[in-house]
Amino acid sequence: MSEQVPNPIDPEQSLKRPIGHHSEEPIPPTQPILSEDSAVTKAEKIARNGVNGKGEEFEVQEPAAKRVKMEGQVEVATQNGTEDKKLDARDKVKGIALVKTEYLIDTYKRAPISSTPDDDAAEGRGAPDARDNKRDNRGGARGGKKKKEKGQNKNREFGSWYDTIRLCNSRANTPEFSPKECSFGDTCKCSHNLRKYLAEGKREDLGTFDGKCPVWEIHGTCYAGWKCRFVSSHSKEIEREDGRKELVLIDKEDAKPLEDDDENRKEVYNVVSTTEKLDLARRRTKTEKSDKYVEWLEKEQKEMDKIYHQKKDETAEERAENRANFTDPPLLPSEKRRIYFGPETPVLAPLTTQGNLPFRRMCVEFGAQLTYSEMAMAIPLIQGQKSEWALMKAHESEISAPRYAPTSVIQDYDNSKDLKFGAQISASKPWQALKAAEIMPRLLPHLRVIDINCGCPIELVYQQGAGSALLDAPSKLEKMIRGMNVVSGNVPITAKIRMGTRDGKPTAQKTIERLAFGGYESRQRLGAPGCAAITLHGRSRQQRYTKNADWSYIAECAALVKSYNHKKDDLTDTINEPDARTQANNLDGRMYFIGNGDCYSHVDYLDHIQNAGVDSVMVARGALIKPWIFEEIEKGQYIDKSASERLGYVEKFVRYGLEAWGSDEVGVGQTRRFLLEWLSFAHRYVPVGILAHLPPSLQDRPPAYRGRSDLETLLASDNYLDWIKISEMYLGPAHKDFRFQPKHKSNSYEIEAEG
């Protein structure tokens, strides 16, 4: 027997844990799963909390022990600790970011790095997949022997940040004497007494930003109303004719009136209304194209089974009769919007948690030309979950056209109709992907592409057959791409993959060929699936982030894609010529190919473009550590940002966060939380002005050093209490119930879910 737990990825499938898999360790407090969490965040929390919140978890593999000791020299310990090699600080040492001697802290002894995990500990991974041990773990197979938790903070607590007295929303944005009617009436559990709320229910106003509300200053109105932590800057008390004094909010004359839907924000696009989400939740939204195609797909599979699982004694006539039973798809793809990837279009990767709207907005200002939403799960989207559709919001800067400077004219490509923002989804079954792909263009008018994630290594996602599990199910993946291409209207379909699921056994080349032409059994009848672009992450699922990305393999795949495009040309004007309606809607139906992994400087970027032969490069951790990497790519040079400039970017993130999440207590808490998540990466930046060796490497970790100023030293601190101190410069003292734990006790050589 096994215990069932809620499944945030697919509610129809229960999660199970094996019998007898109990820990003798004390059970730590679980991290609460909140209603506003996205499905991927819920999956991560389940992995950290353990199944049923009882601490059962998968075992964790930590990287080999290393040690760095700085006393004017670098001491490198081998894995068995038997050999020390002393090197001058000018020498390049693998894994160590060498700092100029004058900035080293001689008396500081750095703690062993043995507790530091690879860069994906935050992906909710409790263990290597059982497939890593040559056993499939999907469907609840037996897990391995449990190990003690080492360096990971799996049960992170963020606490809460609410007002002492909660003001009813019917009073939040109205004058004191003219409130809206409360829909809950006498049963409402929130306060309707405005003066009591202001006096006792909320903390004092913030004094940062000169006491002026950043949202009100830009938009002329504040969406938080009386709940705003800067409310005194846009409210006043007036005396009425009858002598009564009334509290009123102040708006600028040119301010746009607030809409009934509290999710609407100025300069924010792809906002799905509450009514539309309710229609999805109550299954009132029709998906006629998907329904027809899925019905045909099921019949097609039955006919396929008859042919490819036929009896040995079946006659030729019977085989021919079975083949004659095939029918054409009920629908063909619509003409797609042409898209373009080139050296001048660096791509910001889809990043769970970190890839939020304020961070993407900042990266676009630095020069990111293409962005993606955080990965959203198909089932919650289909069910209209608010938290999942919130991931689809895009800033005004993301719906503008990307940079376009090709070496040759791209046929029928209209740059003015292109945009930067695309959405990434994950699905475990074709019908899920198809329904999501049909609904999204209908509700999201500003969408460049829909990208299917085939690389996410999160354990729960993988067990459900989504993410990187699709790499081992190429036929299913092809059906998804082909079907999504049919129902997505004019929005192109792309895919993001890894080298494979197991280290040393790459399968990406076969996957790419299948996405380019289709499988053998469907190629001649149905044509190509119509994948417009493929992004390859140069690591396997099992490998995670323990080694450098394999750009030599990416280069091999890039050469294959070029050969496939030429092969397509060779088939033209022959009986085997692909149907143009099924081709990727780019130049002559050719696929674009993007590389991903360990890009940390303009040198890396240009090297990958020129030597690996990719069309563009997707940047993930490099952007988290230094968002101005896109500026470096554009200018083709290292940029030594000063500490004051970097602190200015912190302020900018805070301003953008308050605009996105609100300036009330909840919005301030959300902004603080996501700022700290970003700082857990940003502190890893070592200024190029104090490095003894260039180019910097994403995998290198510095010895203890002091910055060129006290502020630079503070920004380099790996102590999360210092990160909170930085947040308080702009957000004031943290709420008494606010908690923040870095994702690892050694703090943060980690990455969120980015397949």
* pLDDT given at position 632: 98
The pLDDT tens digits of the residues spanning 153-189 come to 545 555 567 889 999 999 999 999 999 999 998 899 9
Is the pLDDT reported for residue 198 higher than 50? yes
* pLDDT given at position 50: 59
| pLDDT band, very low/low/confident/very high, at 64 (cuts 50, 70, 90) | very low
From residue 361, alpha-carbon distances to 342, 367, 369, 372 in Å are 21, 10, 11, 11
Distance CA 590, CA 531 (A): 9
Is the pLDDT reported for residue 126 higher than 80? no
* pLDDT given at position 630: 98
| pLDDT band, very low/low/confident/very high, at 139 (cuts 50, 70, 90) | very low
Is the pLDDT reported for residue 747 higher than 90? no
Is the pLDDT reported for residue 28 higher than 70? no
* pLDDT given at position 698: 87
* pLDDT given at position 57: 43
Q: Which residue has the higher pLDDT, 510 or 36?
A: 510
* Encoded tokens for 488: 């997505």
* pLDDT given at position 584: 66
* pLDDT given at position 143: 42
Distance CA 313, CA 310 (A): 8
- End-to-end, the C-alpha distance of the chain in Å comes to 33
From residue 561, alpha-carbon distances to 508, 529, 579 in Å are 11, 15, 19
**Closest CA relative to residue 659, chosen from 216, 233, 204:** 216
* pLDDT given at position 10: 72
> Does residue 234 contact residue 249 with C-beta atoms inside 8 Å?
yes
* pLDDT given at position 599: 97
Instruction: List strand residue ranges (DSSP E) for 350-432, in order.
Output: 371-372, 376-377, 394-395, 421-426
DSSP-based three-state secondary structure for 450: strand
Question: Considering the chain, what is the average pLDDT of its residues?
Answer: 81
From residue 107, alpha-carbon distances to 95, 483, 716, 720 in Å are 22, 62, 18, 22
DSSP-based three-state secondary structure for 421: strand
Helix-helix angle 643-661:357-366, to 10 degrees: 140
Instruction: Collect all residues with Cβ–Cβ distance below 8 Å to 125 and sequence separation of at least 6.
Output: 47, 58, 60, 457, 458, 459, 544
Is the pLDDT reported for residue 13 higher than 90? no
* pLDDT given at position 699: 87
Distance CA 234, CA 251 (A): 7
What average pLDDT score do residues 642-665 get?
A: 97
* Burial (CB count <10 Å: 0-12, 13-18, 19+), residue 540: buried
**Closest CA relative to residue 499, chosen from 451, 541, 449, 556:** 541
* Encoded tokens for 241: 């004719």
| pLDDT band, very low/low/confident/very high, at 572 (cuts 50, 70, 90) | low
Is the pLDDT reported for residue 552 higher than 80? yes
* pLDDT given at position 353: 86
Is the pLDDT reported for residue 597 higher than 70? yes
Is the pLDDT reported for residue 11 higher than 80? no
**Closest CA relative to residue 74, chosen from 749, 704, 707, 717:** 704
**Chain centroid to CA 587:** 29
Is the pLDDT reported for residue 375 higher than 90? yes
Judged by average pLDDT, the poorest of 10-19, 302-311, 393-402 is 10-19
Distance CA 434, CA 711 (A): 51
From residue 664, alpha-carbon distances to 368, 661, 671 in Å are 30, 9, 10
| pLDDT band, very low/low/confident/very high, at 325 (cuts 50, 70, 90) | low
DSSP-based three-state secondary structure for 248: strand
The pLDDT tens digits of the residues spanning 499-546 come to 999 988 999 999 999 999 888 777 777 888 999 999 999 999 988 776
* Side chain identity, residue 210: D
**Closest CA relative to residue 372, chosen from 451, 443, 444, 446:** 451
How many Cβ atoms sit within 10 Å of the Cβ of residue 531? 26
Judged by average pLDDT, the poorest of 165-169, 369-373, 400-404, 516-520 is 516-520
* pLDDT given at position 79: 42
| Letter string b/e over residues 459-494, b meaning 16 or more CB atoms within 10 A of that residue's CB | bbbbbbbbbbbbbbebebbbbbbbbbbbbbbebbbb
The pLDDT tens digits of the residues spanning 673-725 come to 999 999 999 999 999 999 999 999 988 899 999 999 999 999 999 999 999 99
* Encoded tokens for 724: 């909170």
Distance CA 525, CA 410 (A): 29
Distance CA 389, CA 385 (A): 6
Is the pLDDT reported for residue 437 higher than 60? yes
Which pTM was predicted?
A: 0.83
> Does residue 494 contact residue 529 with C-beta atoms inside 8 Å?
no
> Does residue 649 contact residue 639 with C-beta atoms inside 8 Å?
no
* pLDDT given at position 449: 97
* pLDDT given at position 151: 46
Judged by average pLDDT, the poorest of 24-33, 315-324, 482-491 is 24-33
Is the pLDDT reported for residue 51 higher than 70? no
Is the pLDDT reported for residue 752 higher than 70? no
Distance CA 149, CA 117 (A): 11
The pLDDT tens digits of the residues spanning 223-241 come to 999 999 999 999 999 999 8
Catalytic residues: 456
Instruction: List strand residue ranges (DSSP E) for 250-351, in order.
Output: 268-269, 347-348
* Encoded tokens for 325: 């039973």
The DSSP bridge pattern shows strands 533-537 and 592-596 to be parallel
What average pLDDT score do residues 600-613 get?
A: 97
Distance CA 647, CA 630 (A): 18
Q: Domains in the chain, please, with CATH?
A: 274-285+326-635 (3.20.20.70)
| pLDDT band, very low/low/confident/very high, at 580 (cuts 50, 70, 90) | low
| pLDDT band, very low/low/confident/very high, at 667 (cuts 50, 70, 90) | very high
Is the pLDDT reported for residue 431 higher than 90? yes
